[in-house]
Amino acid sequence: MKKKITFLLLLILIVTSGCSISRVRLNSADSIIDEVLLNDNKLRNTAFNGYSYYVPNTLKILNKTEYNTLLQDEYGNDYYVYVDAVGYYNKSENTFKEDKRSYYSKKIEAKNKKKNGYLEINEINNKYFVEAVYNYGKIEVYTKKRYLNSTLINLSQVLSSLKYNNKVLSTIIGDNVINYEEENFNIFTTKKSTTNYLDYIEQYDKVKDDNNKLPDDDQLDIGSDEWEVFYEIIR
């Protein structure tokens, strides 16, 4: 009886220690990439036309369109998710080059070499602009340093779960339902700043009225063409 009790106590200790060690290891971008992003996450709870992925309970969906989604975490950080289905369909090459001047910059590739991407973080005005790409999905976040690891874990869970439906995409893109010839956005080119989408989000939040109605164009300090793109994202 004593042996059984001792064995159970040891088992509990090992399991508990293992969980603690696992959490402790997720204390850097490298460890989060290795243990979360590069893992084959088979969870899915959000489906779109041609692809699906997992949104953890630490994030909520604010807006979503065909290939763009706006998520938000418990700290109020906005995550702009863009899925490059055209790039996936055409198997676009990962042209990303690491930048030693960045706070963090690393090209990423799965062990089986079937998926790749990058993670780049740049410090801007005492905050951090994160650009993460994996398996033709891109997430941008602008966050404070104390939330950086939490942000990386969140976005890694989403990107690691991204799965495409080849038959559906072949039908959509092959039939030119959308004018894909005008596609000129390269997710493998970093922006290195929050200019455009994240700035628009900030302005949008400031002028949005209490009834959650979209603000008028002249209330936002962006060009008309840029606003049309942004409007399509948040509509």
Instruction: Return the bridge partners of 139, or none.
Output: 81, 132
CA distance 187 to 74: 27
* Per-residue model confidence as pLDDT tens digits over 9-33: 444 443 333 333 244 457 799 999 9
Confidence of residue 198 (pLDDT cuts 50, 70, 90): low
Amino acid found at 46: T
Angle formed by the axes of helices 197-207 and 224-234, nearest 10°: 80
> Half-sphere exposure of residue 1, counting CA atoms within 13 Å on the CB side?
0
Q: How much is the pLDDT for 203?
A: 53
Higher-pLDDT residue of 54, 2? 54
The residue behind tokens 């700043």 is 193
The predicted model gives 219-233 an average pLDDT of: 39
Write the CB contacts of 25 (distance below 8 Å, at least 6 apart in sequence). Answer: 31, 35
- Under a CB-based contact definition with an 8 Å cutoff, are residues 26 and 153 in contact? yes
The predicted model gives 208-231 an average pLDDT of: 41
- Under a CB-based contact definition with an 8 Å cutoff, are residues 192 and 120 in contact? yes
Of 8-22, 58-72, 113-127, 196-210, least confident by mean pLDDT is 8-22
The predicted model gives 28-49 an average pLDDT of: 93
pTM given for the model: 0.74
CA distance 98 to 120: 8
Q: CA torsion angle for 74, 130, 146, 31 (degrees, to 10)?
A: 100
Q: How much is the pLDDT for 189?
A: 85
Reply yes or no on whether the pLDDT at 214 is more than 60: no
CA-to-CA separations, 56 to 2, 129, 161, 162, 189, in angstroms, rounded: 42, 21, 10, 13, 27
Q: How much is the pLDDT for 191?
A: 84
Higher-pLDDT residue of 206, 77? 77
Q: How much is the pLDDT for 162?
A: 97
* Per-residue model confidence as pLDDT tens digits over 120-175: 999 998 999 999 999 999 999 999 999 999 999 999 999 999 999 999 998 888 66
Higher-pLDDT residue of 195, 38? 38
CA distance 215 to 10: 60
Q: How much is the pLDDT for 172?
A: 83
